[in-house]
């Protein structure tokens, strides 16, 4: 069995210059504020992916023991760090500690590793999800065949789709997961993400006649006209869907993949509600 890859760090930079965070912490909490911050950084570095979840009593007690402050002061200091944007305020509300500044300062450490730099956890259905816990496969470069995707991939693509503001889904359904499973066999995660972003540019753009709004499952379904393929290249998509006299489609072939060779315009139809079976 392969040795697990290290996801913690043994050190972090301690700069001698007086930054905003240190000055304000010391001014409001004295040496307790100063010590709390550096003890917290130590705790984050000892934690996998530099994410610390204190939503359970044991983790909270460990945080207090590590920082040597009272319960009340710990709550106040963490809120101040969130207000200063030294830790992520959205995750702080979920009792998750994440400091992007710490990750940025650890850039050189992770450049020497094959694991990649840790990524900020995401909020899905009001719950935090650690996106770092992925299968050890470079999805951007490798096509997966007959492999059940880790839930993280579903969540990342689901969130990205909702961020485009085309049709926003409230829940990740089994139907959506099946569509992702099918699409990832022929396209990398990076290609799917790029196609989603490009589709949003076209469907929202005033310069383009194409305005049909698909659901996530429809967009990913190859049976709907190779939608990923037609939006892979933004410049090609812009040319294909640019408004012309009479809104006629400008037809242009795109590179073949899996038998696809060009397309015609699809007439816009009504928006469809969330489909697929519920988890």
> Does a structural domain hold residue 80?
yes
Cross-strand pairs, 124: 127
161 plus 81 within the same structural domain: no
CA end-to-end span of the chain: 33
Domain span at residue 198?
134-247
User: Which residue shows structure tokens 């990398």?
Assistant: 188
Rounded to 5°, the CA angle 76-70-54 comes to 70
pLDDT for 125 equals 58
Residue 129 lies in a domain: no
Share of the chain above pLDDT 70, in %: 69
> Does residue 230 share a domain with residue 170?
yes
pLDDT at 140: 42
Residues 85 and 145 grouped into a single domain: no
Higher pLDDT residue, 206 or 136? 206
Lowest mean pLDDT among 99-103, 123-127, 270-274: 270-274
Contacts of 252 (CB under 8 A, 6+ apart): 236, 239, 240, 262
Same domain for 93 and 37? yes
Per-residue pLDDT at 129 exceeds 80: no
Q: What integer pLDDT is reported at residue 128 of this predicted model?
A: 63
- 195 and 235 co-located in one domain: yes
pLDDT at 272 over 70: no
CA angle 14–20–23, rounded 5-degree value: 85
Report the domain count for the chain. Answer: 2
| Same domain assignment for residues 146 and 44 | no
Q: Pairing state of beta strands 52-53 and 96-97? A: antiparallel
Residues 69 and 146 in one domain: no
The residue assigned the tokens 């696809």 is 260
pLDDT band at 89 (very low <50, low <70, confident <90, very high): very high
DSSP assignment string, the chain: -PPPPP---S------S--HHHHHHHHHHHHHHHHHHHHHHHHHHHSGGG-EE--SHHHHHHHHHHHT--HHHHHHHHHHHHHTTSS-HHHHHTTEE--HHHHHHTHHHHHTSSS------EEETTEEE-TT---SS-TTT----S-PPPHHHHHHHHHHHHHTTSS--SS--HHHHHHHHHHHTTS-HHHHHHHHHHHHHHHH-TTBS------HHHHH-GGGT-HHHHTSSHHHHHHHHB--GGG---------STT----------------S---
Check whether residue 105 and residue 144 sit in a common domain: no
């Amino acid at each position: 069995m392969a040795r697990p890859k290290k996801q913690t760090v043994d050190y972090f930079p301690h700069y001698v210059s007086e930054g905003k965070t240190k000055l304000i912490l010391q001014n409001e909490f004295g040496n307790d504020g100063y010590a709390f911050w550096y003890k917290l950084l130590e705790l984050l570095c000892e934690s996998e992916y530099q994410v610390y979840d204190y939503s359970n009593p044991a983790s909270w007690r460990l945080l207090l023991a590590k920082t040597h402050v009272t319960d009340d002061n710990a709550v106040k200091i963490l809120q101040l760090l969130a207000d200063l944007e030294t830790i992520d305020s959205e995750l702080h509300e979920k009792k998750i500690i994440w400091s992007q500044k710490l990750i940025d300062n650890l850039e050189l450490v992770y450049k020497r590793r094959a694991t990649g730099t840790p990524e900020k956890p995401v909020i899905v259905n009001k719950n935090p999800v650690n996106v770092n816990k992925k299968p050890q496969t470079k999805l951007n470069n490798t096509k997966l065949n007959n492999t059940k995707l880790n839930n993280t991939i579903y969540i990342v693509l689901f969130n990205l789709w909702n961020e485009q503001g085309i049709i926003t889904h409230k829940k990740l359904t089994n139907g959506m997961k099946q569509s992702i499973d099918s699409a990832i066999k022929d396209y990398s995660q990076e290609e799917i993400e790029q196609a989603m972003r490009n589709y949003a540019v076209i469907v929202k753009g005033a310069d383009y006649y194409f305005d049909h709004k698909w659901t996530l499952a429809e967009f990913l379904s190859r049976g709907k006209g190779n939608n990923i393929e037609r939006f892979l290249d933004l410049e090609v998509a812009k040319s294909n869907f640019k408004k012309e006299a009479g809104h006629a489609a400008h037809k242009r072939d795109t590179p073949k993949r899996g038998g696809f060779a060009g397309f015609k315009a699809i007439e816009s139809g009504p928006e469809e509600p969330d489909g697929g079976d519920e988890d």
